[in-house]
């Protein structure tokens, strides 16, 4: 990749295209945009653009194409793979979408919501809830992540089991392509077979094919009841059996099913203020379950958990009796990444394997990594029904953890990604590739798929100006 510093003339043209008051080089304004949430990726930029309309974005991209200036879009900067952070040499100009955060009135008949790409996920939730509807994608970063960033990374979260990732939840979008042309597919037609689905190319492209400026999102009715339960069980195989049982009993109304080892629960109890054990006694593994639908689902949950207990599949279980109890159970799950971070350094891997292979993978791959790297401790938790684990490898206990991670981290990650690939899985389940996984994508993706992705990138962005150095 050639990295030419933009000329003063080019920067002035870009600032002009952004519109009055929509460009800055003030280091204090730039600084929060130049480091990622985990503090692992750092970059530089000569200019930050903050457009307010799609037309301004199009004018910026046209000027960038004319002067050969590379651009990087950023939303809430909660991405976890370095995709929204510019390179350190400072040759890429940033476009923040955060001023484009309008949310339009909900279309109750069509059950859709149209909003600009910079709209914050929790604001979208609130707007839908105001009409008795729900945008069924949630994650711990919902107070900062933008719907543009969520679409650009094809984000998942805790309801994918029932509602799918952003690919399933975006009905339409508007985007500015690398030549400055506007791709308008906002209508969100449920049926539209006019050839290739171009919006799906933009979803999950991490800013490398264009800049998403508006989205039409699919909504679902807010369920009458949400029944939340916690179960302690012997292992991931038992957890998968319980998921099958609950899916059959509820007619497919399992909305979330989160798996966590007891080590994880103990970390949360040690580090999260006010956290209380959900069950009496200890169990090797745990699941957090949410059913969503008619209030009668509570009886379904009681019966299914009772039957699972009788069959010896689970050791113990509790059902939240109030919204506060449900929130407390969810806190135990949502506090796990933070508790793990407080406990010490870990090497993070967001991976997926075929669902049926997950129970074996969670145990066997952990054992292989721990044997190959004595003292390391695997913490595999996450979205069991999606085959998606956050397969984190905690460094050996003691004062040398950071040094150990620096020394062994690349080999640990290589081993985890090799094991995932052997199991027919993916080295990125929901966070994307960014810069973090770029080398392993090139190493492990089947060559035909990689070649097709490169051909698409070259056809749409022949100058290579859209978020260079990311994914490919």
Residues that bind ligand FAD (CB under 6 A): 37, 72-80, 83-84, 97, 117, 139-141, 145-146, 148-150, 152-153, 155-157, 206-207, 211-212, 430-431, 434, 467, 470
Give whichever of 31 and 371 is closer to ligand FAD, judged by the CB atom.
Answer: 31
CB 374 to ligand FAD: min, Å: 31
Give whichever of 288 and 301 is closer to ligand FAD, judged by the CB atom.
Answer: 288
Give whichever of 245 and 431 is closer to ligand FAD, judged by the CB atom.
Answer: 431
CB 154 to ligand FAD: min, Å: 8
Contact indicator for 83, 435 with CB cutoff of 8 Å: yes
Going 457 to 462 to 464 to 465, the CA torsion angle's sign is: negative
CB 177 to ligand FAD: min, Å: 11
End-to-end CA distance of the chain: 11
Nearest to 436, CA basis, from 417, 453, 452: 417
| Token pair listed for 223 | 């369920």
Going 289 to 141 to 203 to 108, the CA torsion angle's sign is: positive
CB 76 to ligand FAD: min, Å: 3
CA distance 444 to 451: 13
Contact indicator for 203, 151 with CB cutoff of 8 Å: yes
Give whichever of 376 and 428 is closer to ligand FAD, judged by the CB atom.
Answer: 428
CB 291 to ligand FAD: min, Å: 20
Strand 346-347 and strand 388-394: the pairing is antiparallel
Give whichever of 176 and 415 is closer to ligand FAD, judged by the CB atom.
Answer: 176
Strand 112-116 and strand 211-218: the pairing is antiparallel
Give whichever of 1 and 448 is closer to ligand FAD, judged by the CB atom.
Answer: 1
Contact indicator for 48, 29 with CB cutoff of 8 Å: yes
CB 373 to ligand FAD: min, Å: 26
Give whichever of 238 and 420 is closer to ligand FAD, judged by the CB atom.
Answer: 420
Residue closest to ligand FAD when measured from CB atoms:
149
Reduced 3-state DSSP string for 9-46: HHHHHHHHHHCCCCEECCHHHHHHHCECCCCCCECCCC
Give whichever of 169 and 314 is closer to ligand FAD, judged by the CB atom.
Answer: 169
Contact indicator for 421, 354 with CB cutoff of 8 Å: no
CA of residue 13 relative to chain centroid, distance? 34
CB 207 to ligand FAD: min, Å: 3
Neighbours of 85 (CB within 10 A): 26
Strand 350-352 and strand 388-394: the pairing is antiparallel
CB 146 to ligand FAD: min, Å: 4
HSE toward the beta carbon, residue 26, CA cutoff 13 A: 7
Give whichever of 70 and 314 is closer to ligand FAD, judged by the CB atom.
Answer: 70
| Helices and strands (H, E) in the chain, number of each type | 17, 18
CB 98 to ligand FAD: min, Å: 9
């Amino acid at each position: 990749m050639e990295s030419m510093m933009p000329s003063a003339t080019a920067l002035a043209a870009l600032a002009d295209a952004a519109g009055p008051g929509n460009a800055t080089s003030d280091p204090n304004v730039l600084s929060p945009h130049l480091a990622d949430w985990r503090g692992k990726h750092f970059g530089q930029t000569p200019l930050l653009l903050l457009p307010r309309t799609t037309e301004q974005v199009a004018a910026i991209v046209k000027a960038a194409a004319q002067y050969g200036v590379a651009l990087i879009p950023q939303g809430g900067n909660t991405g976890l793979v370095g995709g929204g952070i510019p390179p350190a040499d400072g040759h890429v100009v940033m476009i923040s979408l955060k001023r484009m955060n309008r949310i339009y009135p909900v279309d109750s008949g069509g059950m859709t919501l149209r909003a600009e790409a910079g709209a914050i996920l929790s604001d979208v939730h609130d707007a839908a809830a105001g009409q008795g509807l729900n945008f069924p994608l949630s994650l711990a970063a919902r107070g900062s992540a933008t719907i543009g960033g969520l679409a650009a990374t094809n984000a998942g979260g805790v309801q994918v089991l029932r509602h799918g990732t952003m690919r399933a939840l975006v009905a339409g979008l508007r985007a500015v392509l690398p030549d400055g042309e506007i791709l308008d597919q906002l209508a969100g037609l449920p049926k539209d077979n006019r050839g290739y689905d171009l919006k799906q190319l933009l979803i999950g492209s991490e800013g490398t094919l264009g800049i998403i400026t508006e989205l039409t999102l699919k909504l679902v009715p807010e369920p009458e009841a949400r029944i939340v339960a916690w179960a302690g069980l012997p292992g991931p195989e038992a957890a998968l059996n319980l998921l099958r049982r609950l899916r059959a009993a509820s007619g497919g109304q399992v909305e979330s099913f989160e798996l966590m080892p007891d080590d994880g629960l103990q970390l949360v109890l040690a580090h999260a203020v006010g956290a209380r054990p959900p069950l009496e006694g200890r169990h090797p593994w745990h699941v957090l379950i949410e059913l969503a639908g008619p209030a009668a689902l509570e009886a379904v949950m009681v019966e299914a958990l009772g039957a699972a207990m009788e069959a010896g599949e689970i050791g113990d279980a509790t059902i939240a009796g109030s919204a506060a109890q449900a929130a407390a159970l969810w806190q135990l799950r949502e506090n796990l990444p933070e508790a793990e971070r407080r406990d010490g350094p870990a090497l993070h891997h967001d991976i997926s394997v075929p669902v049926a292979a997950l129970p074996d993978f969670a145990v066997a791959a952990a054992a292989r990594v721990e044997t190959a790297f004595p003292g390391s401790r695997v913490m595999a938790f996450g979205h069991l029904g999606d085959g998606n684990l956050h397969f984190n490898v905690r460094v050996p206990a003691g004062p040398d953890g950071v040094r150990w991670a620096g020394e062994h981290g690349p080999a640990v990650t290589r081993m985890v990604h090799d094991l995932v690939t052997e199991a027919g899985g993916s080295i990125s389940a929901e966070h994307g590739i960014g810069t973090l996984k770029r080398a392993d994508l090139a190493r492990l993706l089947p060559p035909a798929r990689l070649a097709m992705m490169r051909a698409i990138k070259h056809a749409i962005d022949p100058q290579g100006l859209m978020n260079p150095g990311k994914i490919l």
